[in-house]
Amino acid sequence: MAQISKRRQGKIAADASAVLRIYEAACREWGQEKVDTDHTRIWDLRCIWGIKGILPFGALESTNISEVLWVAETVCGLVQTPRQLRQRRISNASTR
């Protein structure tokens, strides 16, 4: 992920409530496990909402995927589950 300046971090932190709302909707759309494994789905839904006019482009201070993911992970505290850990859980479950 690209380095975001302190000044920019202060501005995009204001998007926290909107990013959480998008995260919750993405979890309803694709399931929490899929979203927690791949936070780019938050950006996908943000783009879908932009196209549909639900959350128009320019409505957020964040302008790209790096900024939205920074807000989700740093400001909102969302933790992305590593794929290796998820795959290990799936393979352990299938051997039971």
User: How does pLDDT run across 6-23, given as a tens digit for each residue?
Assistant: 999 999 999 999 999 999
Rounded CA-CA distance 96/80 in Å is 26
Query: Closest Cα partner for 61 from 52, 75, 71?
Result: 71
Residues 91 and 83: beta-carbon distance below 8 Å: no
Position 63 scores a pLDDT of 93
pLDDT band at residue 93, thresholds of 50, 70 and 90? low
Position 80 scores a pLDDT of 85
How far does Cα 77 stand from its chain's mean position? 10
> Global pTM?
0.81
- Other Cβ atoms within 10 Å of 3 Cβ, number: 7
Residue 92 has pLDDT above 60, yes or no: no
Query: Closest Cα partner for 62 from 73, 35, 79?
Result: 73
Rounded CA-CA distance 79/13 in Å is 17
pLDDT digits (tens, 9 = 90+) for 22-66: 999 999 999 999 999 999 999 999 999 999 999 998 899 999 999
